[in-house]
Amino acid sequence: ILSAILQTFLRPRLKCIDGELCLITGAGGALGRLFALEFAKEGAHLVLWDCNAAANEQTARLVRELGVRVHTYTVDLSKRRNIYETANRVRAEVGHVSIMVNNAGVVAGRRLLDCPDELLERTLLVNCHALFWMTKAFLPRMKEQNHGHIVTVASALGLFSTACVEDYCASKFGAVGFHESLTHELIAEDLNGIKTTLVCPYIVDTGMFAGCEIRKELRSIIPPLEPLYTVQQSMKAILAEQQMICIPRLMYIPFLARALLPWEANVATYRFMGGDKCMLPFIKNIEMKTSNGHTKLC
């Protein structure tokens, strides 16, 4: 406890990742692109995965401008075979991945009873199952060398839940459980050279949850996060080899309240803060987009 308190107040030592090979999933997306640029600035070589080839290439172009070696792969993370095949290609064409950032994520954005089964399934496949296949593909080599880092970009909604995002909460709670169990396994096996970091942000202003909002009076106290701030905070935690980060720190409160307070007290707090219906305008947004024919599955 003392050491954790000290780490909160003292500036932790940040590790050097110059020359490490870092794989980032969802690298064409908002946070993925910023992660790629931050890892590039730290001197890591990059392997970028995304199902959106054009967006992924755009990230690669920005990274190359920094003079960093980068390789792109178009992958559908909802397909186990596709993950294993692409992992084999990376090993053969680029080499051994020592940092893996599992960042890609999706949300159905529909009410459970209105949502096509495939869309619900896809959330679990991309946000949760893919973590198994990615880890099975890249951990063995990290274990051989007792060196590596596995980053799981989960969510505040992996620590506490809210209404109407059952698929997303199930997948992110799964991601949190996966991360914790894997971390315990590495510690139990004395593999202290392999680090893990769990990233749990609140709403980030990337468009993924556009419309999601809490009670008006509280929005200025807990505003949506800036994407760059979110990634910079995550980078600090990763380089400090911190096991977990909630962004902002305020998110530890609903996480603790969920565990400590009676259910009814949490329900009352959700109602008071507008946490109970925060997803409804987001779902309305998606409904409007899909009725205009804007839906797309990877």
Ligand X SMILES: NC(=O)C1=CN([C@@H]2O[C@H](COP(=O)(O)OP(=O)(O)OC[C@H]3O[C@@H](n4cnc5c(N)ncnc54)[C@H](OP(=O)(O)O)[C@@H]3O)[C@@H](O)[C@H]2O)C=CC1
Ligand Y SMILES: CC1=C(/C=C/C(C)=C/C=C/C(C)=C/C=O)C(C)(C)CCC1
H/E run at residue 176: helix 166-188
At closest approach, how far in Å is the CB of 1 from ligand X? 28
17 binds ligand X (CB under 6 A): no
Non-local CB neighbours of 265 within 8 Å, separated by 6+ positions: 257
The interface region with ligand X, picked from 40-48, 188-196, 199-207, 249-257 by CB under 6 A, is: 199-207
Binding partner of 269, given ligand X, ligand Y, none, CB within 5-8 angstroms per partner class: ligand Y
Among 30, 44, 63, 231, binds ligand X (CB under 6 A): 30
Range 211-232 burial, b when 16+ CB lie within 10 A, else e: bbbbbeeeeeebebbebeebbe
Contact 202, 224 (CB under 8 A): yes
131 binds ligand X (CB under 6 A): no
Among 94, 124, 191, 208, binds ligand X (CB under 6 A): 208
Cα 34 to chain centroid distance, Å, stands at 12
Strand partners, 49: 25, 73
Q: How would DSSP label each residue in 105-146?
A: -----S-GGGS-HHHHHHHHIIIIIHHHHHHHHHHHHHHHHT
Binding partner of 222, given ligand Y, ligand X, none, CB within 5-8 angstroms per partner class: ligand Y
At closest approach, how far in Å is the CB of 91 from ligand X? 19
CB atoms within 10 A of CB 256: 12
Contact 99, 42 (CB under 8 A): no
Among 124, 257, 273, 298, binds ligand X (CB under 6 A): 298
Candidate list 73, 84, 168, 252, residue with the active-site label: 168
Among 44, 170, 209, 246, binds ligand Y (CB under 6 A): 209
Say whether 270 is catalytic: no
Catalytic residues: 168
Site of interaction with ligand Y (CB under 6 A): 155-157, 162, 202-203, 209, 212, 214, 222, 254, 269-270, 273, 275, 278
